[in-house]
A and B are shown apart, each in its own frame.
Chain A
Amino acid sequence: MLSLRFAIPTANSIASPKPKPKSAGSLQFLGNQTDIFSSGVSVPKRYDCKLQAAPTDVDVVNGKTSVARELSEELPVGLKKELMPKHVAVIMDGNGRWARQRGLPPSAGHEAGVKSLRELVELCCRWGIQVLTVFAFSAENWIRPKVEVEFLLSLFERALKSEFESFASESQIELLFYVMLFPSVRGGIRISVIGDSSKLPTSLQKLINEVEEATKQNTKLQLIVAVSYSGKYDVVQACRSIAEKAKDGEIQIEDINESLIEQELETNCTEYPYPDLLIRTSNELRVSNFLLWQLAYTELFFVRELWPDFGKDEFVDALTSYQQRQRRYGGRHS
């Protein structure tokens, strides 16, 4: 479900050729060709982006490149940094309908959905959202036609694999370019996958483990992808986990309470396990067995747009609505 770059190292860990004696702030972006260094290295096509000026100043000290200044993107008008949600969850609904409306096969809708996810990940990085959880494939989705299920899983695997491999093969200069062009993702994206992975193909299980391991040190954004996930399953697996510990004598039966269950939930892979905001697309007003336990105080935002049509404007609307709402928690915090 995702196609994005991860494990982006900080720029000062990359050696680079000597730059031309001109301010990096006035770099010219000419299509795919960006003549920054005297060596005339060109930016690979996948890094191509529409920027007016370079977002960083680059100083070369002792052969190392250090980022002297980072221009973090301004938040859209009306949004306050201190009121930004730490954790946003998204139910990416409507890929099939989007494709149907255009007379396309469901696979085309899922491909378009990946593009929306890429954009959302980039926006979360830019605007300082710490955790993004996306519902990519629910436990109930297994009942869909076999062809569609296989396509969805292969799309997920393909996206993970291509990013993982292309990242591994990149030269340090290319990485420097990436860091310079996208300062918002400096620090990297940490990817975690939650759900009943036992049902997934073994090749995908192996890949998930590799990606999670490779990105676990990244700090810019944690992307949690729910695959074969069900909220009820999450609670049940937490109870099973506690049962094992109880059996092994690690805990006493009297000790079992809600906080203990919370510690065993799959979202415990993040510092912020409770979403502040849940966005569901395609005008459906339900949570569809997603993060049932975790959503007790989550602001719910339902949008009309189908997931492939969900973009920056819709995300800004959701965040604006979230910031404007009067948040009350009653007497307890979950």
Chain B
Amino acid sequence: MDFKKEVRIVCGWIAYFGDLLLRLLWHLVHVIISLFYFTLGIANALESYLISWGVLKRYRSLHVNKLRYLAIVVESEEAYETSKIIALLQWLADIGVKHVCLYDMEGILKKSKDFILAKVDGAVLYGETHENNKLLDQTHMTLEFASFCDGKEAVAKAANVLFMKYVKSGATDQNQKGHIFTESQMSEALKTIGSGGPEPDLLLVYGPARCHLGFPAWRIRYTEIVHMGPLKSMKYGSLIKAIHKFTRVQQNYGK
């Protein structure tokens, strides 16, 4: 009986130490994974700072002229952080970006546009200096403000403009209908209702969601989309990196 008892005790100890060992192993794996992600985070932050300080050679010369029109999507909750938006625009002005569209779903940035325009040196409202929505080279930065109503709602309004034209023309044949309802006609109709801005070359998304949050769909056919993370942790280096990456992209437009 004593022998059985001893065996039971030994087995108990083995089980206890085995369990302890497995727990330690599990925690070790967790620590290693956490360390890996922590190191990755530090490496990214370090790279960002090195870019900011101009240490990394390849990021020094940006062909920013390739970026004719930049769009920035900000999650509505973060759009209230106007100081961050202004700092971001100031960075873009320093980099040499001339034309920027600021978008948030709720139109919070639209409401703050006068304040933003006043704070960003030499910034003017898009449309005031451009006839026919042409992007002209100039010294100051032009800003466009967009919200959800410039997207799907605007397309519906533009469609109404075309319908009126279609109905008034009294067209019944297929050719007439096809002639009015074309992509170029829709683009023109969007311009007439004031939602026909140009297609951005690059769209930077600030916020937790990895989607463009309803940015006007008609305008992002070939737009490069980059998720930048939360606005509160925005970095100058990350911005440079995103623009640099864009300038090296070769688009083939279906070829």
Contact = CB atoms under 8 A, between A and B. Distances in A.
Interface in A278-334: 285-289, 292-293, 295-301, 325-332, 334
A326 B209 contact: yes
Given A258-B152, A286-B222, A297 B213 contact: yes
Contact of B167 (A141, A231, A246): A246
Contacts of A256: 156, 159-160, 163
A138 interface: yes
A235 B210 contact: no
B128 interface: no
Given A243-B166, A296-B211, A330-B105, A236 B186 contact: yes
B218 A292 contact: yes
B221 A289 contact: yes
A73 interface: no
Interface stretch (B20-28, B43-51, B136-144, B223-231): B223-231
A334 B255 contact: no
Contacts of B152: 258, 261, 293, 296, 334
B124 to A, nearest CB: 28
A332 B211 contact: no
A333 to B, nearest CB: 10
Contacts of A293: 152, 155, 217
Contacts of A287: 220-221, 223, 225
Interface in A241-297: 242-244, 246-247, 253, 256-258, 260-261, 285-289, 292-293, 295-297
Nearest to B180: A243
Interface of A: 138-144, 231-233, 235-236, 239-240, 242-244, 246-247, 253, 256-258, 260-261, 285-289, 292-293, 295-301, 325-332, 334
Contacts of A143: 253-255
Nearest to B219: A292
22 contacts: A140-B253, A232-B218, A232-B221, A239-B162, A242-B159, A246-B163, A257-B156, A285-B225, A287-B220, A287-B225, A288-B254, A292-B221, A297-B209, A297-B213, A326-B209, A327-B209, A328-B209, A330-B214, A331-B106, A332-B105, A334-B152, A334-B214
A109 to B, nearest CB: 15
Contacts, number: 145
Q: What 5 A-B pairs are tightest by C-beta distance, nearest first?
A: A140-B254, A292-B217, A330-B105, A296-B214, A258-B152
A235 B211 contact: no
A328 B75 contact: yes
Contacts of A138: 254
B106 A285 contact: no
Given A297-B213, A330-B105, A141 B254 contact: yes
B45 to A, nearest CB: 21
Given A243-B166, A296-B214, A258 B222 contact: no
B217 A295 contact: yes
B49 to A, nearest CB: 24
B210 A300 contact: yes
A73 B76 CA distance: 40
A142 B254 CA distance: 8
Interface of B: 75-76, 105-106, 148, 151-153, 155-156, 159-160, 162-164, 166-167, 172, 177-178, 180-183, 186, 207-215, 217-218, 220-227, 249, 251, 253-255
Contacts of A142: 254
| Max chain A C-beta neighbours (<10 A), residue from B106, B153, B221, B222 | B221
Contacts of A240: 177-178, 181
A299 B155 contact: no
A330 B75 contact: yes
A114 to B, nearest CB: 20
Contact of A286 (B163, B214, B225): B225
A233 B222 CA distance: 15
Contact of A253 (B75, B167, B178, B207): B167
A286 B75 CA distance: 20
Contacts of B209: 297, 299, 325-329
Given A144-B255, A329-B209, 15 more contacts: A140-B254, A143-B254, A232-B218, A247-B166, A253-B160, A258-B153, A258-B156, A261-B155, A285-B226, A292-B221, A299-B209, A300-B225, A300-B227, A327-B209, A331-B76
B76 A236 contact: no
A330 B76 contact: yes
A296 B205 CA distance: 13
Given A235-B155, A261-B159, A286-B222, A296 B167 contact: no
A285 B246 CA distance: 9
Contact of B164 (A236, A253, A258, A261): A253
B183 A236 contact: yes
B181 A239 contact: yes
B183 A233 contact: yes
B217 A328 contact: no
A243 B177 contact: yes
B179 to A, nearest CB: 11
